[in-house]
A and B are shown apart, each in its own frame.
Chain A
Amino acid sequence: MNHEFRSVPRIICEAGALQQVGNVFRGLGAQRVIVVCDPGIVSLGFAGRAQAVLEACGCEVAVFDQVTPDPSSTVVEQAAHQARAFKADGVLGLGGGSSLDAAKLVALLINSDQPLHDVYGTDKALGQRAPLVLMPTTSGTGSEVTWVSVITDPQHKKQAVYSPQLLPDVAVLDPQLTLGLPPKVTAATGLDAMVHAIEAYTSRTRKNPISDGLATAALTLLGTNLRKVLANGQDLEARTAMLQGSLMAGMAFVNASVAAIHALAYPLGARFHIPHGHANALVMAPVIRFNLLNAQHQYAELAVHLLPGEQFDDEASAAEAFVQAIESLVRDSGLELKLSALKVDEASLAVMASEVVVGIRRLIDSNPRDMDELDVEAIYRRVF
């Protein structure tokens, strides 16, 4: 009955919204804006367009374009150093989850004496962050509406920062920026967003009526549009729906938690550099099948939202239809679905399984069905 719910105070969604970022930063009182992105965003011309729009509004602009996938603490420190040297008073994160996660930390560190490693963990950040605007270019991580940043420390360990200051002032969705996403990225990030909605809805820990409402609405948008954007990446309406669905799924999971799919995906990313969305896609169908025993009721509720208009005889058949719909979406995603084909070695499966049940216990705690080491290893084996 007790819940806490946080959200970004302002969301702008419009095809061409990139044109508005200058005014958005003016409204926030920022005049020296650093754009945090990766080299791909520069070569697509998005960083240049952002710079031009900001300069047209009278802002001075610097661009940090060295964000890497699974960004390292070194990259974040370099970006923060450049931001301080530039005397930035505003940060624009532009890109996928990695760029947005890095931008959040840059905004936090600009005005703070705290070293980066001091903010690892929950609520460790002390300072007031600089004005922060986040623009996702994938649909996606939902990072634009979460207060989490995940980075990799020099020991190759994933470190998460949880702090309400990481929520931006404004999330800006411009579906035009997602039109050119390659099908594999579209599939991986789209399935990632669906996992956010599903795991938020079945979370055993912080699920609440607000996250439920957002998760179900997100699932309808994502479920009815993923095949459309895979068939035609230029479908602006479907791309818009995916971006909106990703945002709503992000609002849901950050207030409800994700669970076993994420727990099983993390070691695949950390050890084998499989992109986060793809790693989720690899394990989502078998985890959902495994969870069915305990989550039948919730999966049946989700069936109504994933398969609108369909009629089911009873709860069991609705839940089964939900699981099968997910299995078929994953199968048709075009992603490689065998761990062995992604250079994962068999010996690692047991090691990863023990890592999951020990190291990422808090996510398993949110899973509708408990998992021990053998369960996890069996799921890895099923997709090996």
Chain B
Amino acid sequence: MSKFTFETTPRVICEIDGALRLGALCRELKAERVLLVSDPGLLRAGLLDAPMQAMRDSGVQVTLYSDVQADPPVACVEEAVAVARECRAQAVIGLGGGSSLDIAKLVALLCGHEQRLEDIYGIGLAQGPRLPLIQVPTTAGTGSEVTAVAIVTTLSHEKKGVVSPLLYPDIALLDARLTVGLPAAISAMTGVDAMVHAIESFTSVHKKNVLSDGLGVQALTLLAANMDRVLAEPSDLQARSNMLLGSMLAGMAFANAPVAAVHALAYPLGGHFHVPHGLSNALVLVPVLNFNRPAAETLYAQLASAVLPGEHFANVSEACDGFIDFMTRLVARMPFAQRLNEVGVTPEDLDQLTDDALKIERLLINNPRPLNRDDIHAIYSSVL
């Protein structure tokens, strides 16, 4: 436990309207021609206009690739790389949700060093250097701006990941102004996703360490204190900013102490029923917490002081109750589906979901309590 390696993004800027500084930041990174990677929704919402104009005003030539889709296919990477080569981009900016940031990572990598995407799926196979990279998340969220992973969907509908420390950007830029327009359901799903990152990294059986713990606790403190505020007052910049910070800190934590059963059980829901990632996590979170309790009581008790600051508990068991109860009530009041049947899952689907979750051993092994087939089936059934 006292032996660990911790890697992270070396520079974080948290600033309201920070996106208007992107031109100056590109110049600091010695780039005059830049590819901006984003999605059609942000383009339509007009969120890209001001940052792009600001870049042009500082003499940076910016080319836009805004065709990133959710669960981005390999073709999306190929297109974006072609655009980057065409405009001879010297740096890449990812501005958007997790998908845009993932595509930006891969473009920076593939344009910085000649290599084929299919050759670098897996851990540590990518070669540097990559192009300078700035990541600007517009959800709080995935934490992708501080993780070393990029996921794409292959032609055969398989999810493939590239894992490499080269994927940490030079700069993560958190601009709360970009998140004020997020619909309530998206704010809620992504916020709970970030909380799950903090919780699962804190209870991870592997690689948990003092740094991931410290960041995870602080992340959960910020997220728990601001989740309701952003739903009640979507344009509260302070609360939005705290959610972005919490999401990023949770990202720093889980990038170094990996997530576990909540994610393993969530992935099949995304794969089969196209349930958004954050919602999938939220659907299975509470039953997994209850299942883990016998093994994770002490750790959950420690997290109680993050979600309920100032409250005193008579003993570990009560503190653990306090934590699980807080998360249960929080998820229950979120404006999104609460049961699997609401997202199209039928009792007949549970076997398939269970089989698929069982295959995600790389995450299940991080869970504080081992799960077998029956356990997973029971968890899905409990929230059907």
CA distance A261 to B7 in the complex (A): 31
State the Cβ distance, B247 to closest chain A Cβ, in Å: 12
Contact A10 B5, beta carbon cutoff 8 Å: yes
Contact B9 A213, beta carbon cutoff 8 Å: no
From A12-20, A50-58, A62-70, the one touching the partner chain is A12-20
* B138 at interface, CB cutoff 8 A: no
Binary CB contact string for chain A from 1 to 30 against chain B (1 if under 8 A, 0 otherwise): 111111111111111000000000000000
Binary CB contact string for chain A from 213 to 237 against chain B (1 if under 8 A, 0 otherwise): 1101110010000000000000001
- Total count of chain B residues near the partner, CB < 8 A: 39
CA distance A153 to B218 in the complex (A): 41
B1-17 with Cβ < 8 A to chain A: 2-16
Binary CB contact string for chain A from 191 to 215 against chain B (1 if under 8 A, 0 otherwise): 0000000000000000011101110
CA distance A279 to B167 in the complex (A): 42
| A to B CB contacts below 8 Å, 12 in the list | A1-B15, A2-B15, A4-B12, A9-B168, A12-B5, A209-B218, A213-B217, A214-B218, A216-B214, A217-B210, A248-B210, A248-B211
- Once A9-B168, A11-B5 are accepted as A-B contacts, the answer to whether A4 and B11 lie under 8 Å apart by CB is yes
* A240 at interface, CB cutoff 8 A: yes
* B261 at interface, CB cutoff 8 A: no
In the complex, the chain A residue whose C-beta lies closest to that of B176 is A1
Contact A6 B6, beta carbon cutoff 8 Å: no
* B312 at interface, CB cutoff 8 A: yes
Contact B214 A209, beta carbon cutoff 8 Å: no
Residues of A that sit less than 8 Å from B by CB: 1-15, 164, 167, 175, 208-210, 212-214, 216-218, 221, 237, 240-241, 244-245, 248, 304, 311
- Once A9-B9, A209-B222, A214-B214 are accepted as A-B contacts, the answer to whether A4 and B14 lie under 8 Å apart by CB is yes
Contact of B10 among A167, A214, A218, A221 (CB under 8 A): A167
Contact A5 B214, beta carbon cutoff 8 Å: no
* B91 at interface, CB cutoff 8 A: no
Contact A212 B218, beta carbon cutoff 8 Å: yes
Binary CB contact string for chain B from 235 to 279 against chain A (1 if under 8 A, 0 otherwise): 001100110011001000000000000000000000000000000
* B51 at interface, CB cutoff 8 A: no
CA distance A9 to B168 in the complex (A): 9
CA distance A237 to B165 in the complex (A): 29
- Once A1-B241, A209-B242 are accepted as A-B contacts, the answer to whether A11 and B10 lie under 8 Å apart by CB is no
In the complex, the chain B residue whose C-beta lies closest to that of A5 is B12
CA distance A291 to B7 in the complex (A): 36
Contact B4 A213, beta carbon cutoff 8 Å: no
CA distance A209 to B14 in the complex (A): 11
